[in-house]
Structure 1
Amino acid sequence: MENQDKSKNTAIIAYLTIIGAVIAIFMNQEDNKSAFASFHIRQALGLFLSFFLLGYFVGYADSWTVTSAFYLFYFILWIYGFLGAVQGQMRELPVVGAFFQNLFKTL
């Protein structure tokens, strides 16, 4: 039971910020690596990195509709992943979840 709580807390921390994702990676490096925490770390890290990468280019669009749609899309994905971690479910993020799982499979 304690190990389940620890992996759930690690998964939740991963979604807090990019720094939280890095902290969660180090929290999950112990001898008893959790598949649940690893799943959510991959999702959160991919979400944050793609947000910064794509956000850089969206910032040059100079259109409030494009920028607003971009922020809304990522906020919905973040809520979806965060609620999955809180509820203890391993649900991939829509559209990009499978890509993040393959890209960061070594974590």
Structure 2
Amino acid sequence: MGILVGWLALNKFYLGYTKEGVIQLVLNIVTLGAASIIPFIEGILYLFMSDKQFDDTYVYGKKGWL
């Protein structure tokens, strides 16, 4: 989701990070989309993580950003 629709911050909202999602949306609007590199990088990181590492970091650890 971060790679394809990160500019809409759907990856943040899907994980339950509403505050981070709103911040990402505002950044994308203010920077005219330049801030969409952040969810793109996050999407690549998500792809190369194991499922356990992803769960520990983003589901249980509630890490909102990179």
Where on the TM-score scale, by shorter chain, does this alignment land: which range? 0.3 to 0.5
| More contact order relative to length (CA 8 Å, sep ≥ 6) | 2
Flag the structure with larger Rg.
1
- So what's the TM-score if we normalise by structure 2? 0.41
